[in-house]
Amino acid sequence: MAKSAITLPLLFILLTFIDVSSSASMVFNVVTFGAKPDGVTDSTAAFLKAWQGACGSVASATVVVPTGTFLLKPITFGGPCKSKLKFQVTGTVVAPTDYRSFGSSGYWILFNKVNRFSLVGGTFDARGDGFWSCRKSGQSCPPGVRSISFNSAKDVVISGVKSMNSQVSHMTLNGCTNVAVRNIRLVAPGNSPNTDGFTVQFSTGITLTGSTVQTGDDCVAIGPGTRNFLISKLACGPGHGVSIGSLAKQLNEDGVENVTLSSSVFTGTQNGVRIKSWARPSTGFVRNVFFQNLIMKNVQNPIIIDQNYCPSNLGCPTEHSGVKISQVTYKNIQGTSATQQAMKLACSKSNPCTGITLQDIKLTYNKGTPATSYCFNAVGKNLGVIQPTSCLNR
């Protein structure tokens, strides 16, 4: 009996110790694998080795990028991994200054098929100014790379990340499910070409909260196949606003539905909230969209639907869009418009926008000249005070 009384507590302690140790996160510091925090030495191989170790760990693992500046060439962090994985960045990661060294890869940092994954902290500087200069000069330039991309990822958290000076898009989600993005900053000069901030397509269950986007193109670009996307507490500007589209790039194209943007501020942007489609046939659609509780500060085109998009009048044989837009609500949108036409709902010649709701809109142009609205083939209802005067067909 005495022997049993001693053995059982010891066995309990031993089992407890094993359980705790097996659940502890394994740490893979990139410096341990040879990364140099000098901003000059190529640390790509070291980052990849640290990733491979963490991804192959049966226990939850953390890749650590400590204080310092790390030079990283194009890299793919591939999954799926064996366990839950965190990528914790304290320092700064920079891209090569020679934009031609990227070739036509399309990516700088790609997370592919990761799940139960979190990217936390850090600054990612793509140093895109040389690439922008090439584009502005009219030279023959590479296509450019997206800074941080997630392809076919699931159950992901992205928090506290700063992306600077992207060549093209700062952060892209493609084919992803259940991704929570919070407190990120995406920053590039307002005149940097095609530098979209946050881009989503073919993805579902995405949230973007408490974030700031200051860039040269769309703050948020919502592409085909996006469903159940919630954006809140976004600070946008400079930039081109929040855009659904361009859609109808392809004849057979997935639709966009269940998108909500709320409690956000637009400052000096080219557009506020926009839905845009090419003026050509498409099987696509946009439905169940809510734009609510928004403030516009000197914004061009605060509310706009443009279904006649056709740059240089090329590639639009029928001159009308097949994309069907329905059940779109604009509620409690207030502020100032930099253009007299504060509201433009220019829908397809062949497919009217239906179920449009305007509620409690107050947009002003300047003290001497009232703002105006324009509608074409837009059908819906008005609730509360609408300023400028609504032009919806009922």
Main-chain dihedrals φ then ψ at residue 178, nearest 5 degrees: 60, 75
Within 8 A by CB and 6+ apart from 65, the residues are 30, 35, 47, 87, 88, 89, 90, 91, 93, 122
What pLDDT, on the 0 to 100 scale, is given for residue 46?
98
- Are the beta carbons of 334 and 295 closer than 8 angstroms? yes
Whether the link from the prior residue into 143 is cis, omega within 30° of 0, is: no
287 domain-assigned: yes
The residue written with tokens 């990761």 in the block is: 114
Give the domain extent around 298: 90-134+142-387
**Concatenated DSSP letters for 44-55?**
HHHHHHHHHHHH
5 domain-assigned: no
Integer Cα distance of 8 and 160 in angstroms: 46
Half-sphere exposure of 253 (CA within 13 A, CB side): 26
- Are the beta carbons of 282 and 256 closer than 8 angstroms? no
How many domains does the chain contain in total? 1
146 domain-assigned: yes
Q: What is the pLDDT of residues 298-337, one digit of tens each?
A: 999 999 999 999 887 777 877 799 999 999 999 999 999 9
314 domain-assigned: yes
6 domain-assigned: no
Would you state the structure tokens that stand for residue 32, as one six-digit string?
A: 């341990």
345 domain-assigned: yes
- Are the beta carbons of 163 and 186 closer than 8 angstroms? yes
DSSP letter, residue 252 = S
**Concatenated DSSP letters for 114-127?**
-EEEEEE--EEE--
Would you state the structure tokens that stand for residue 175, as one six-digit string?
A: 């084919």
Q: What is the pLDDT of residues 336-391, one digit of tens each?
A: 999 999 999 999 999 999 999 999 999 999 877 899 999 999 999 999 999 999 99
What pLDDT, on the 0 to 100 scale, is given for residue 367?
75
Angle at 239 between CA 320 and CA 201, to 5 degrees: 55
Active-site pick, 146, 227, 240, 344: 240
Integer Cα distance of 131 and 235 in angstroms: 26
Question: What is the pTM for the complete model shown?
Answer: 0.93
Intervals of the chain under pLDDT 70: 1-24
CATH label of the domain that carries residue 186 = 2.160.20.10
Q: Is 153 exposed, middle or buried (0-12, 13-18, 19+ CB in 10 A)?
A: buried
Half-sphere exposure of 257 (CA within 13 A, CB side): 10
54 domain-assigned: no
SS3 at position 23: helix
362 domain-assigned: yes
Alpha helices in the chain (DSSP H): 2-23, 44-55, 129-137
240 is known as an active-site residue: yes
What pLDDT, on the 0 to 100 scale, is given for residue 10?
39
CA-closest candidate to residue 61, choices 74, 70, 69, 52: 52
